[in-house]
């Protein structure tokens, strides 16, 4: 297996594609985005291993986001490669107009529900109007628990929803060690956004925390993420991100305790300050994911488009010394 490092203008850092060419098949996990620079980098990286786009037999996609799927259609058009993705993300990857229209309609509804100012909404509309791929591939959907033989390596699909509805990891064994390709479920530097990155996901924080608990308990020796460098201790990184969300939950409650009822955009402003570009979506999305999770557990009480802290949570917050709110994961 070879890690191919590709550029990415977004804040997450460089993208990774993973090449399996140690047998009769040539297989990629993810492709990077659709930009010309990425296409050149992928072509050169493949060539350094004696491979061309036309040689790719299969592509496994971790999720629908364009920085992971952007070249899948072009590769398929050159090679006839089979492209696999989770069933929940398949319509978006295929460019289904109804699926994309529904996604944008859901985003627009949340923008209003969150109390997002119209000028900020306009910025996001312009950003979302940008092209995300030159060609949309035909895809083969898979499901949690499906397995694939890749040159003698068994890749097992693990559905890890939260950041995206169909986000999946691929478990396998390399050189006798259990490893996992995590896409954006586990990253070495940033904590993947939940709530804004895919507004189709119901209860995104709960689902993401369950995915993190799975990683923490699975005992992988190494994780190969969708961005940046390999993760040498995946369980420890997963536990760290769980702790991060418990600290964020405490901050959300503390904001409501000090300020009184607020809407999602106002809570986001307290957490993240002034937002620009795609963060205009991610900030309130993350705040919303936490507010809804805390509402389900009774720590906050929704009142129309605002939330207020529950009395019992306010009392417990006053006794909390480590500035973490236990989320049960």
How far is 191 from 43, CA to CA, in rounded Å? 30
Top-tier CATH class for 243-319: mainly alpha
Which residue intervals of the chain are DSSP H helices?
36-47, 66-69, 72-79, 90-93, 97-114, 118-128, 204-218, 234-259, 264-272, 279-296, 311-319
The pLDDT of 156-168, averaged and rounded, is 98
DSSP secondary-structure letter at 314?
Answer: H
Question: Average pLDDT over the chain, rounded to whole?
Answer: 95
The pLDDT of residue 11 is above 60: no
Please tell me the predicted confidence (pLDDT) of residue 128. 81
CA count, 13 A, side-chain hemisphere, 304: 6
Beta-carbon neighbour count of residue 297 at 10 Å?
Answer: 15
Task: Give the CATH number of domain 2-96+130-238; options: 3.60.15.10, 3.40.50.620, 3.30.1280.10, 1.10.1740.110.
Answer: 3.60.15.10
> Start-end ranges of CATH 1.10.10.10 in the chain?
243-319
Rounded Cα gap, residues 186 and 160, in angstroms: 10
Which pLDDT belongs to residue 127?
Answer: 84
pLDDT digits 0-9 by tens, 274-313: 999 999 999 999 999 999 999 999 999 999 999 999 999 9
Each residue of 48-61: pLDDT tens digit? 999 999 999 999 99
Q: What are phi and psi of 298, to 5 degrees?
A: 85, 5
pLDDT at 292: 98
CATH 3.60.15.10 boundaries in the chain: 2-96+130-238
Asked if residues 237 and 224 have their Cβ atoms less than 8 Å apart, the reply is: no
Residue-wise pLDDT tens digits, 101-143: 999 999 999 999 999 999 999 999 988 876 665 689 999 999 9
Q: Are 282 and 193 in contact (CB under 8 A)?
A: yes
Q: Distance between the two ends of the chain, CA-based, in angstroms?
A: 33
Q: 179 versus 134: which is more confidently predicted? A: 179
Q: Using H for helix, E for strand and C for coil, what is the string for 64-126?
A: CCHHHHCCHHHHHHHHCCEEEEECCCHHHHCCCHHHHHHHHHHHHHHHHHHCCCHHHHHHHHH
Positive or negative, the CA dihedral 229, 233, 238, 241 is: negative
pLDDT at 203 over 60: yes
């Amino acid at each position: 297996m070879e890690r191919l490092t590709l550029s990415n203008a977004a804040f997450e850092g460089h993208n990774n594609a993973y090449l399996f060419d140690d047998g009769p098949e040539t297989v990629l996990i993810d492709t990077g985005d659709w930009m010309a620079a990425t296409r050149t980098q992928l072509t050169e990286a493949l060539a350094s291993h004696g491979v061309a786009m036309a040689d790719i037999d299969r592509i496994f996609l971790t999720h629908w986001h364009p920085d992971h799927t952007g070249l899948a259609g072009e590769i398929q058009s050159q090679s006839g490669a089979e492209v696999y993705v989770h069933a929940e993300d398949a319509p978006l990857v295929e460019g289904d107009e109804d699926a994309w229209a529904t996604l944008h309609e859901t985003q627009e509804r949340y923008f209003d529900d969150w109390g997002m100012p119209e000028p900020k909404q306009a910025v996001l509309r312009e950003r979302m109007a940008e092209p995300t791929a030159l060609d949309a591939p035909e895809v083969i959907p898979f499901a949690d628990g499906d397995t694939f033989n890749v040159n003698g390596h068994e890749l097992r699909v693990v559905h890890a929803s939260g950041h995206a509805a169909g986000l999946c990891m691929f478990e396998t064994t390399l050189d006798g060690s259990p490893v996992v390709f995590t896409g954006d479920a586990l990253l070495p530097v940033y904590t993947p956004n939940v709530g804004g990155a895919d507004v189709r996901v119901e209860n995104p924080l709960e689902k993401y925390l369950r995915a993190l608990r799975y990683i923490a308990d699975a005992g992988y020796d190494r994780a190969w993420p969708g961005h940046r460098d390999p993760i040498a201790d995946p369980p420890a990184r997963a536990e760290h991100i769980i702790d991060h969300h418990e600290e964020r939950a405490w901050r959300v409650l503390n904001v409501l305790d000090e300020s009184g009822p607020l809407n999602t955009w106002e809570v986001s402003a307290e957490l993240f300050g002034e937002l620009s570009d795609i963060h205009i979506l991610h900030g309130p999305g993350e705040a919303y994911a936490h507010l809804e999770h805390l509402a389900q557990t009774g720590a906050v009480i929704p009142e129309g488009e605002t939330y207020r802290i529950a009395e019992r949570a306010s009392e417990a917050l006053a006794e909390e010394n480590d500035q973490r709110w236990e989320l049960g994961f």
